[in-house]
Structure 1
Amino acid sequence: MKILLTGLLLLLTYNCIAQTSIHGRVTDQKGNAIPGVNIYLKGTYDGTSSDPDGTFTMETGESGTQTLTVQAIGFRSREITLEIKGQPVTLNIALDEAINQLNAVTISAGAMEAGDEKKSVVLKPLDIVTTSGAMGNITAALLTLPGTSTVGNDGRLFVRGGDASETAIYIDGLQVGNAFGSTTSNVPTRNRFSANLFKGSFFSTGGYSAEYGQALSSALALNTLDLPLRNQGDVSIMSLGGGYTQTLVRNDRALTASANYYNLAPYQSLVKQNFDWEKAPSSWDSEVSLRQKWGNAVTGKAGFIKAYFHTEGSNMAIWQKIPGNDGRGDRVKLNNHYNYGNVSFRHSGGKGWLFYGGAALSDNRDAIQFNTDDIKQVNRIFHAKIVAVRDFSSQFSVKNGLEYYAKSYSETLSNQNQTRQFYDNLFNHFVEATYYFSNRLIIVGGLRSGHGTLAKQTWLTPRFSVAYKLNNQGQFSFAAGKFKQLAEEKLRIYQTDLKNSAATHYILNYFIVNNNRTFRAEAFYKNYDKLFTFKGLASTPKNIALNGSGYAKGVDFFLRDKKTVKDTDFWITYSFVDSKRKFAAYETKVQPAFAPKHNGSVVVKHFVTAMKSLLGTSWSWNSGYTYNDPNLPGEMQRKTKAYSDLSLSISYLPKPNVILHVACSNVLGRQNVFGYQYASQPDEEGSYAGKPVGQGAKRFLFAGLFITLSKDKKANQLNNL
């Protein structure tokens, strides 16, 4: 027994002697202590945690070559190779911050994003369809955001002193030609595509990625839904028409098909119109969307392919009064047929690679009768793109892409048997690198190149963005870049070798999201060069050149609050734009009619549980539109009264699968004027007769019943938004 005790004592003494002490301190790259760090020898039970001052001490009985693992939340793990020979080991360990995409800073200068994957959501599709006054129109809802201007006699998207043609629209990364319905002069149009089609959007008011081009002011990228939630049928019965949509979902694939018909004649027979309609606008559309997902659980490779096709037709006939003429004026009849289709894909190739791209074709055909003249216009755009993105690390990635555009446009005067047309090919390459210095600092640099066969011009446009995140106090972003754009087709048809106009953007942004409140403030300066100019009328321009120039500068603010008032979501927008440009037929720099100096909006949505209803109101305002009065010296010397529109809406759910929506725009009946038209020749007294350009009616009323047919009878048309 005595021998046994002696042996145990000797063994314990040996183990104590064999223990090796490992101690040190763990800090970040700035030397700040990191507490609670997990420190252990790999493959053993020997380990410890760092103290509040970052120090640690541990003992081990291991010897030889060992691996010490150091792990901390928010930092990249480190493995350190040690040679343990029984002597104390002292270590000073510095950890690199881990880049967490959910918490890291993002570029917000000029950018407003919405989607499930973004923490800084601005407008989701649900916001669009429930915004009072938008009537489900994507563009109308975006006009409540900062940087935009409402131009009531047009209906398209005007951004920071830029013309509507300066905004490019994309679906799943592929450009859409003629994204707005065809219309006649001073009759507003709307976006062709339903908000229900999209899961999110990227709306840039400037300084956007090198991936997008041929747009001097703005890019709007819309992303379609991936896989719907369930099989369902959606019935729409509206005051303007009706439609049906069927969705079929099976495993990793889905099919959606829809058809709609609209006719304003019954509505216009009940509500007095200011326009002299011979035939009220009517239209039909149908679309098919196919989606297929694939994936490999072993390799981690996965992808998605989508195919989308949209076709529609519309017609109208209107008499447009001529200033100084007692008759009905010019008779304009318009028939439009439009097709758009795209196929897009995304594929994760493993090892940090991501590939995406596709091809799209837009085909727009207008048959116009202007009094006795028959005019046919055909505009076609083909766009193909392939992009490769490589994540070299959690901090550094590179995007590399190639694009090809084939554009054609033709005009035919049937009475005179005359046709003029052009074909153009554009080739683009873009590269963009993103580097995270930390979760607080990111830099993005890009370069876009292009070549046009008709213009015989090659160009380079650099882009740059940087963002820095403060300690729980939001972030600052700065963006700058050069942008190029060819003139619109209706101008290029007169001079097909016109080269690019140019714009340079500078944007400084502050952005914060906290406790369901969003605040965004942005200052911008945009310089224009080589804007197109001509002599005479826009319908028959002469001496077309790129002699114009101009600028747009200002600030805008956006505040959204979902927290302060229970069951209420509201946002307030204000934009100041100081814009002047020499362009078109103007001989001096003028404030464009489409760029009011002051723009504001207020949107409020309140859910009343007891009524099962969503109440909404929106108010849009601007300081008035400039216009040219030939009875006075100078150019664009007058301005209309301020524009104002107060809209109301209510969405009532009598059953989970039934929605009744009623909305009214301009409920106060304000007579908004967007400018004045004048006679081309003076009267006997030497004065030019004029008439105001106003709204089609004092108010617009809409009522719709939306019924969803599904297995559980609980789904409705808001489920996928």
Structure 2
Amino acid sequence: MQTFIISKILLLLSLLMGIFLHAQVTVSGKVNFKGKGVKDISVTLKNTYDGATTDENGNFTFPTEEKGSQILVFSNAKFVEVEKPITIANENLSINSDLKEQISEIDAVVISAGSIEASDKKRATALLTPIDIYTTAGANGQISSALETLPGVQKIGETEGLFVRGGTGTETKFFMDGNLVNNFFGNSIPGIKSMDRLNTSLFKGNVFSSGGYSAAYGQALSSVLILESIDFPERNSVDLAISPLFINAGFQNVNEEKSKSFGISAGYSNLGLVTKLIKFNNDFTKAPESFGTNFNFRIKNKNGGILKYYGSFDTNKIGLQAESLEANIDFDNTNLKGKNTFHNLSFKKKFGQYLLNLGSSYTYNSSFIALSNTFEDEEINPNTIDITGNYLNTKGTLGRKINKISAVRAGIEYNQSNEKTDVSAAPTPSEFKDQITSLFAETDLGFSNNLSAKIGVRSEYSNAIDRWNLAPRFAMAYRISKTWTSSLAYGIFYQNPENKYFGSNPLNYQKAEHYVLQVQKSAEGRSFRLEAFYKNYKDLIKTTVLDYRPVAINNTGNGFAKGFEIFWRDKKSIKDIDYWISYSFLDSKRNFQNYDQSLFPSFAAKHTLSVVAKKFVTSWKTGFNLSYSYASGRPYYNFQTDANGDYYLNKQGRLKDFGALNFSLNYLPNLGKKDSKSFTVLVLAVNNILGQKNIYGYNFSTDGLRSKPVLPSASTFIFIGAFINFGIDKTQDAIDGNL
């Protein structure tokens, strides 16, 4: 009886299994992308649980009991979702599908040849955010000094400017919210390097391009630094900074909706006390002294448009006495009085698919220099140089998105310069006026997530030169693998000769062609870049001296610069340590200005190396920062003039290698209650802590028979200061940013 029951159950199960198997249908097929099978594609019947995932060859198979009209869905975040209508009867189905790549702003390859970007959108690989700049030992919180730790930028200590890839300091231009910043550096005298005028804390991000930059920017033969100011402060705050060098104070006010804000700050600095505590190589008759103030406001309208304004005013004084190289003169005396005001206004608003950017900047700069000599305690040969300039820049850009990763933009830019130079020894003052009108257009073409291009063109007309130029630009990027990308950039770049060189001789634009090739690997916490470049210079100016000032004779100069650069940044390999290493090799020659032949530029080094390391000890609330800079010895030259007034090379040599080890310490004490909105940083910084004796060049007597070295203002410089903010507690941000 028991056997009979079991046999009946088995028979019933067999009948049920037969019915079930007969009801099931197998759906199978293959999923391809560009003719190859793709794995990890989800294949499902819409609104059911039936489906499968493709294997390494793109094949899939799954059973289903569904019948009739169905939708088969092929999905993966990297591809456009595909829906195919199918009809399921009693027979197995074979369905194949071809996929298209999903275009994504996040996944799309970015053109990065010649540029390094740091912004809120680029946090994973960002370089030189404000925290980076403040915590780079030796940078003293200066944007330009921190950039000298990056590939391609020379370590120049005797004059201001960014000297990039064999270019002079004037070949780099600076922009704030898209507008040109004239006189980015403070007024100075020869041999004394001035500081940045714009405070690092004004900006939320930057793009530094050392070659092949966008058609939206011009009048720069070598590079551009594009700074983007913060939109709105986090909340109301008061800032205070105190040190033996300076005192600064300011406040920011923002409404709850973050639609309006304004702020004011002022600062005073005087190196008088420091010159008594630290040994300086300069003999100051008037220690560097300055006063500055600035004001800003921001307004956001209901439609998302934002208006930003920044204005500043500063004055500075400096007096210097140096032993003279000339016969019958004991000392050379130089006194400077400088004034500057800068105003920057920008407006940005989206209109559907369109983005409008409007902006304008204005600069007034005055530099009054009094020169004299001392012989047997009597002042002789008094002379003055009074230079004043007014500079206006306006710019408008309209862009439109074509799809997620493609766009087109065009714009117009206008620059006006008016400079007057009055040399007391010259018979009459010289005045220079110029108006430059520029038109530009550019398109970003995203062919896929792995391939993109940027094509642009810029044209400029200068009244002083009285002709148009045409400068095409091209760049492309290709993703080699998941972590490796490559970029290529090419462009023609024009720049007027400096205003001070214009005279009665007709001049042309100076020209440079850039070729830049880059490969980059980016992974979590690590970034590697290898970049090769070639720059070809044409129509550089040749100069002489007329009425006590240099003027250009013609544009017959030329030159080249080529080399390669390596950059490595690592936040992951060594616990709690962030470091980067940059190395640059440069081969360059120029025949320009007063050079009588093609020579390696005196402002460039063949080999440069920078190592920056940072560690924050959370339990101590203290950050320890080190940096080391090395540059092979730069050449130096002395040119004299013959009876015809032509220059010839009288003497040349090579400086010893430059090296400096810098250290800084940042301590974050608790201030007030634990939940108080305040932030304090105590800073100790020592530049060139080992006291290495560096030389920046040589000054020569008029006859070229005597010389003396150009030295840093101080071989070793020590800074102590406190920075306090009431209203915003940035302690954790500082720790997270490796302060």
Q: State TM-score, norm by structure 2.
A: 0.87
* Residue identity opposite 2:356 in structure 1: F
Shift of residue 48, structure 1, vs aligned partner = 4.3
Q: How does 1:489-638 map to 2 (within 5 A)?
A: 489-492=499-502, 494-495=503-504, 497-536=506-545, 540-541=549-550, 544-629=553-638, 634=649, 637-638=652-653
Task: String of CA shifts for 1:107-132, please: whole Å, max 9, x gaps.
Answer: 12111111110142121111101111
Shift of residue 155, structure 1, vs aligned partner = 3.3
Per the alignment, residue 373 of structure 1 pairs with 383
Shift of residue 164, structure 1, vs aligned partner = 0.2
Shift of residue 162, structure 1, vs aligned partner = 0.3
Do 1:156 and 1:190's aligned partners in 2 also have CA atoms closer than 8 Å? no
Do 2:505 and 2:553's aligned partners in 1 also have CA atoms closer than 8 Å? no
Shift of residue 376, structure 1, vs aligned partner = 2.0
Do 2:483 and 2:521's aligned partners in 1 also have CA atoms closer than 8 Å? yes
Per the alignment, residue 237 of structure 1 pairs with 242
1:406 is aligned to 2:411: no
- State the distance in 2 between where 1:454 and 1:67 align: 69
Do 2:43 and 2:54's aligned partners in 1 also have CA atoms closer than 8 Å? no
Shift of the 517–50 alpha-carbon distance from structure 1 to 2, 3 Å rule, reads: closer
Bigger Cα displacement from structure 2, 51-60 vs 117-126: 51-60
- Which secondary structure does the structure 1 equivalent of 2:455 belong to? strand
Shift of the 75–413 alpha-carbon distance from structure 1 to 2, 3 Å rule, reads: same
Do 1:320 and 1:331's aligned partners in 2 also have CA atoms closer than 8 Å? yes
Per the alignment, residue 719 of structure 2 pairs with 702
Bigger Cα displacement from structure 2, 693-702 vs 391-400: 391-400
- State the distance in 1 between where 2:37 and 2:662 align: 55
- Which secondary structure does the structure 1 equivalent of 2:355 belong to? strand
* Residue identity opposite 2:702 in structure 1: S
Task: String of CA shifts for 1:333-364, please: whole Å, max 9, x gaps.
Answer: 211111111111222222x3222231111221
Shift of the 712–596 alpha-carbon distance from structure 1 to 2, 3 Å rule, reads: closer
Per the alignment, residue 364 of structure 1 pairs with 365
- State the distance in 2 between where 1:274 and 1:705 align: 27
Per the alignment, residue 270 of structure 1 pairs with 277
Out of 341, 344, 352, the residue aligned to residue 342 of structure 1 is 344
Task: String of CA shifts for 1:455-481, please: whole Å, max 9, x gaps.
Answer: 111111111111111223421111111
Shift of residue 437, structure 1, vs aligned partner = 2.2
- State the distance in 2 between where 1:484 and 1:426 align: 12
- State the distance in 1 between where 2:161 and 2:577 align: 29
Bigger Cα displacement from structure 2, 544-553 vs 269-278: 269-278
Shift of the 703–540 alpha-carbon distance from structure 1 to 2, 3 Å rule, reads: same
Shift of the 131–120 alpha-carbon distance from structure 1 to 2, 3 Å rule, reads: same
Q: What 5-or-longer segments of structure 2 have no aligned partner?
A: 1-20, 373-381, 641-646, 672-678
CA RMSD of aligned residues (A): 3.0
Shift of residue 614, structure 1, vs aligned partner = 0.6
Shift of residue 272, structure 1, vs aligned partner = 2.5
Shift of the 325–561 alpha-carbon distance from structure 1 to 2, 3 Å rule, reads: farther
Per the alignment, residue 678 of structure 1 pairs with 700
- Which secondary structure does the structure 2 equivalent of 1:149 belong to? coil
Shift of the 206–713 alpha-carbon distance from structure 1 to 2, 3 Å rule, reads: closer
- State the distance in 1 between where 2:439 and 2:613 align: 43
Shift of residue 228, structure 1, vs aligned partner = 1.9
Q: How does 1:179-198 map to 2 (within 5 A)?
A: 179-198=184-203
- Which secondary structure does the structure 2 equivalent of 1:315 belong to? strand
- Which secondary structure does the structure 2 equivalent of 1:207 belong to? coil
- Which secondary structure does the structure 2 equivalent of 1:580 belong to? strand
Out of 309, 312, 327, the residue aligned to residue 311 of structure 2 is 309
- State the distance in 2 between where 1:383 and 1:185 align: 28
- Which secondary structure does the structure 2 equivalent of 1:654 belong to? coil
Q: How does 1:183-222 map to 2 (within 5 A)?
A: 183-222=188-227
Out of 473, 480, 493, the residue aligned to residue 463 of structure 1 is 473
Shift of the 344–710 alpha-carbon distance from structure 1 to 2, 3 Å rule, reads: same
- Which secondary structure does the structure 1 equivalent of 2:79 belong to? coil
Per the alignment, residue 659 of structure 1 pairs with 681
- Which secondary structure does the structure 1 equivalent of 2:346 belong to? strand
- State the distance in 1 between where 2:732 and 2:311 align: 25
Bigger Cα displacement from structure 2, 414-423 vs 447-456: 414-423
Shift of residue 444, structure 1, vs aligned partner = 1.3
- State the distance in 1 between where 2:333 and 2:68 align: 95
Out of 275, 281, 284, the residue aligned to residue 288 of structure 2 is 281
Do 2:521 and 2:529's aligned partners in 1 also have CA atoms closer than 8 Å? yes
- State the distance in 2 between where 1:543 and 1:254 align: 47
Per the alignment, residue 3 of structure 2 pairs with none
Per the alignment, residue 37 of structure 2 pairs with 32
1:258 is aligned to 2:265: yes
Shift of residue 307, structure 1, vs aligned partner = 1.1
Shift of residue 401, structure 1, vs aligned partner = 1.7
Q: How does 1:70-149 map to 2 (within 5 A)?
A: 70-78=74-82, 92-118=96-122, 119-149=124-154
Do 1:590 and 1:636's aligned partners in 2 also have CA atoms closer than 8 Å? no
1:441 is aligned to 2:451: yes
Shift of residue 82, structure 1, vs aligned partner = 7.8
- State the distance in 2 between where 1:382 and 1:91 align: 66
Shift of the 619–98 alpha-carbon distance from structure 1 to 2, 3 Å rule, reads: same
1:644 is aligned to 2:626: no
Do 1:26 and 1:94's aligned partners in 2 also have CA atoms closer than 8 Å? yes
- State the distance in 2 between where 1:92 and 1:395 align: 29
Shift of the 50–667 alpha-carbon distance from structure 1 to 2, 3 Å rule, reads: closer
Shift of the 393–541 alpha-carbon distance from structure 1 to 2, 3 Å rule, reads: same
- State the distance in 2 between where 1:61 and 1:636 align: 94
Task: String of CA shifts for 1:164-205, please: whole Å, max 9, x gaps.
Answer: 000010011111001011100111112111111111110011
- Which secondary structure does the structure 1 equivalent of 2:276 belong to? helix
Task: String of CA shifts for 1:569-602, please: whole Å, max 9, x gaps.
Answer: 1111111111110001111001111111111111
* Residue identity opposite 2:184 in structure 1: A
* Residue identity opposite 1:525 in structure 2: Y
- State the distance in 2 between where 1:38 and 1:361 align: 61
- Which secondary structure does the structure 2 equivalent of 1:673 belong to? coil
Shift of the 394–165 alpha-carbon distance from structure 1 to 2, 3 Å rule, reads: same
Do 1:676 and 1:691's aligned partners in 2 also have CA atoms closer than 8 Å? yes
1:226 is aligned to 2:228: no
Bigger Cα displacement from structure 2, 479-488 vs 381-390: 381-390
Task: String of CA shifts for 1:424-445, please: whole Å, max 9, x gaps.
Answer: 1111111111222222221111
Per the alignment, residue 167 of structure 1 pairs with 172
* Residue identity opposite 2:665 in structure 1: I
Shift of residue 613, structure 1, vs aligned partner = 0.8
Shift of residue 711, structure 1, vs aligned partner = 7.6
- Corresponding pairs, count: 690
- Which secondary structure does the structure 1 equivalent of 2:120 belong to? coil
Shift of residue 495, structure 1, vs aligned partner = 4.2
Task: String of CA shifts for 1:636-666, please: whole Å, max 9, x gaps.
Answer: 6311111111111111112252211011111
- Which secondary structure does the structure 1 equivalent of 2:217 belong to? coil
Q: State TM-score, norm by structure 1.
A: 0.89
Shift of the 718–157 alpha-carbon distance from structure 1 to 2, 3 Å rule, reads: farther
Shift of residue 142, structure 1, vs aligned partner = 0.5
- Which secondary structure does the structure 2 equivalent of 1:186 belong to? coil
Shift of the 537–417 alpha-carbon distance from structure 1 to 2, 3 Å rule, reads: closer
1:419 is aligned to 2:429: yes
- Which secondary structure does the structure 2 equivalent of 1:382 belong to? strand
Do 2:269 and 2:289's aligned partners in 1 also have CA atoms closer than 8 Å? yes
Task: String of CA shifts for 1:376-405, please: whole Å, max 9, x gaps.
Answer: 212222111111221212243212122111
Per the alignment, residue 297 of structure 2 pairs with 290
